[in-house]
């Protein structure tokens, strides 16, 4: 007699665990400062009612205060609101401690942002009860080992996109499961704007295709979403919405290194703004050397207070020499200021591009100036020495072309949605 056929495992399964930290920046501040716990807190970039919140605590969110809320309006909604200047270096430190704790339980497959990460589950952990137990152990570990204020919402689903959607459905401290066989199920409770990828610009395009509700989005044909998105992004969205596998992201090669900064009012006169531009350039050059790249082009962009943007770019001999870049920046600054008629500056951006890896052979000049090669080598060695001094003794211990006190209100490294700074950046 043939052996009996094996009985398939009937238990439901999920493939992805998505972790979203709750009110992350504000929660870190409450963890570091117990006097803030249980109180409405907004994290801000500058101490001004004209700025916007970059994070809000659970208590502040009850008043309708969230990321992007004007602080003057937030104080009208909540007169006892406490504002705290952002401590981006601390948020990065906690980020690494959180990853370490999560990986005590299971490896992190993808870091999605400073406060979001995803785990691609292996077969033993795809069974729903095992995945839920893993999620609960991660939550408990964060509270016990990282801090009692550090909570997260976790989504479990057949792909990373739906797991993220699930993590947003119950906050704070939620645990939501979206099973393939239950779709669309709880998705129909959502608004279109609740889905990642559908913002204020996308909604009108969906309405033009006859899609106004989640049910209509679910029932739409793949071709309809292709038309709404204007390409394969619509096909990918349709595929992932219906439970298809999420394409793994391949990290792109580094093509540019740059920094930008919105200036506080006292730094907006052109002389002060020029110093900030130089500070941003030195920071980008230090990152260039740490990442073992050389560059050949420098781009400078400024946005004036009254709106227009002025920009200029120039080429320099391929290398990682702060002194040469500083000279070029001085020329570019004069050009953009002439374009802007020396008006007050609201935002400065500096970008290095034309990057090549340090190990790439350099094109030598056919007729180099006498002694120029040795001079270049000496300048680059000096730049590396400056990096080491600043890493050891603190940011701006040694700078080129200005005194550190002139930019004492310049706040340095910030966390962006698309990039988490390395720890070393806070000393560059």
pTM of the model: 0.66
What residues in the chain have per-residue pLDDT under 50?
A: 1-3, 5-8, 249-250, 364-374, 409, 411
On whether residue 125 sits in a domain, the answer given is yes
What are phi and psi for residue 353, nearest 5 degrees? -145, -175
On whether residue 3 sits in a domain, the answer given is no
Are 316 and 304 in the same domain? yes
Whole-number pLDDT of residue 380: 72
Whole-number pLDDT of residue 367: 45
User: What CATH number is associated with residue 356?
Assistant: 3.30.1490.100
Whole-number pLDDT of residue 32: 96
Whole-number pLDDT of residue 244: 87
Are 307 and 242 in the same domain? no
User: What CATH number is associated with residue 71?
Assistant: 3.30.70.270
Whole-number pLDDT of residue 370: 46
Are 265 and 355 in the same domain? yes
Please say which residue of 225, 251, 277 terminates a domain: 251
Are 49 and 197 in the same domain? no
Are 54 and 123 in the same domain? yes
pLDDT digits (tens, 9 = 90+) for 213-247: 999 999 999 999 999 999 889 999 999 999 988 66
Are 272 and 342 in the same domain? yes
Are 231 and 262 in the same domain? no
Whole-number pLDDT of residue 252: 52
Tally Cβ neighbours within 10 Å of residue 182: 12
Are 237 and 284 in the same domain? no
On whether residue 4 sits in a domain, the answer given is no
Is 116 annotated in the active site?
yes
On whether residue 264 sits in a domain, the answer given is yes
Whole-number pLDDT of residue 357: 85
In 3D space, the residue among 267, 286, 301 whose CA is nearest the CA of residue 388 turns out to be 286
On whether residue 32 sits in a domain, the answer given is yes
User: What CATH number is associated with residue 193?
Assistant: 1.10.150
On whether residue 366 sits in a domain, the answer given is no
Point out the catalytic residue in the list 93, 97, 101, 116: 116
Q: Which residues of 349-366 are buried (b: 16+ CB within 10 A; e: fewer)?
A: bbbbebbeeeeeeeeeee
In 3D space, the residue among 196, 194, 60, 57 whose CA is nearest the CA of residue 116 turns out to be 196
Are 288 and 406 in the same domain? yes
Are 273 and 202 in the same domain? no
In 3D space, the residue among 263, 337, 247, 344 whose CA is nearest the CA of residue 300 turns out to be 337
Are 321 and 378 in the same domain? yes
CA 338, 342, 346: angle at the middle one, nearest 5? 115
How many independent structural domains does the chain possess?
3
pLDDT digits (tens, 9 = 90+) for 335-360: 999 998 899 999 999 999 888 887 66
Partnered with residue 117 across adjacent β-strands are 19, 111
Whole-number pLDDT of residue 308: 85
Whole-number pLDDT of residue 7: 44
Whole-number pLDDT of residue 48: 86
On whether residue 2 sits in a domain, the answer given is no
Q: Which residue range is the domain that position 204 belongs to?
A: 183-251
On whether residue 414 sits in a domain, the answer given is yes
Beginning with the edge strand found earlier in the chain, give each strand of the sheet holding 152-157 in spatial order: 110-113, 116-120, 16-21, 152-157, 175-177
Are 75 and 190 in the same domain? no
Asked if residues 51 and 71 have their Cβ atoms less than 8 Å apart, the reply is yes
């Amino acid at each position: 007699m043939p052996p009996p056929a094996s009985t398939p495992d009937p238990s439901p399964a999920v493939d992805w665990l998505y972790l979203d930290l709750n009110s992350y920046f504000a929660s870190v501040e409450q963890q570091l400062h117990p006097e803030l716990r249980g109180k409405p807190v907004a994290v801000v970039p500058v101490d001004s009612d004209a700025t916007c919140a970059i994070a809000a605590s659970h208590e502040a969110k009850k008043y309708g205060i969230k990321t992007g809320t004007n602080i003057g309006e937030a104080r009208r909604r909540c007169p006892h609101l406490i504002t705290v200047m952002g401590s981006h270096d601390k948020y990065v430190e906690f980020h690494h401690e959180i990853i370490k704790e999560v990986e005590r339980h299971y490896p992190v497959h993808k870091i999605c942002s400073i406060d979001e990460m995803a785990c691609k589950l292996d077969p033993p952990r795809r069974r729903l009860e095992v995945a839920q137990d893993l999620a609960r152990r991660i939550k408990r570990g964060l509270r016990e080992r990282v801090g009692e204020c550090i909570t997260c919402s976790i989504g479990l689903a057949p792909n990373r996109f739906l797991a993220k959607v699930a993590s947003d459905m119950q906050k704070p401290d939620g645990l939501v499961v979206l099973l393939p066989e239950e779709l669309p199920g709880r998705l129909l409770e959502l608004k279109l704007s609740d889905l990642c990828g559908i913002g204020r610009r996308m909604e009108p395009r969906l309405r033009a295709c006859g899609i106004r509700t989640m049910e209509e989005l679910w029932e739409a044909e793949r071709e309809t979403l292709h038309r709404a998105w204007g390409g394969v992004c619509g096909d990918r969205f349709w595929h992932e919405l219906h439970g298809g596998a999420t394409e793994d992201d391949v990290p792109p090669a580094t093509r540019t290194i740059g920094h930008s900064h919105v200036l506080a009012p006292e730094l907006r006169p052109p002389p002060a703004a020029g110093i900030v531009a130089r500070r941003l350039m030195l920071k980008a050059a230090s990152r260039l050397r740490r990442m073992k790249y050389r560059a050949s082009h420098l781009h400078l962009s400024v946005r004036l207070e009254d709106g227009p943007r002025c920009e200029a770019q120039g080429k320099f001999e391929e290398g990682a020499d702060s002194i040469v870049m500083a000279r070029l920046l001085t020329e570019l600054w004069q050009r953009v200021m002439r374009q802007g008629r020396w008006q007050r500056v609201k935002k400065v951006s500096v970008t290095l591009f034309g990057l090549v890896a340090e190990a790439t052979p350099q094109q030598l000049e056919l007729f180099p100036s006498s002694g120029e090669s040795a001079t270049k080598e000496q300048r680059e060695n000096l730049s590396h020495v400056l990096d080491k001094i600043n890493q050891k003794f603190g940011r701006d211990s040694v700078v080129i072309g200005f005194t550190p006190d002139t930019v004492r209100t310049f706040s340095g490294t910030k966390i962006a949605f698309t990039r988490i700074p390395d720890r070393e950046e806070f000393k560059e």
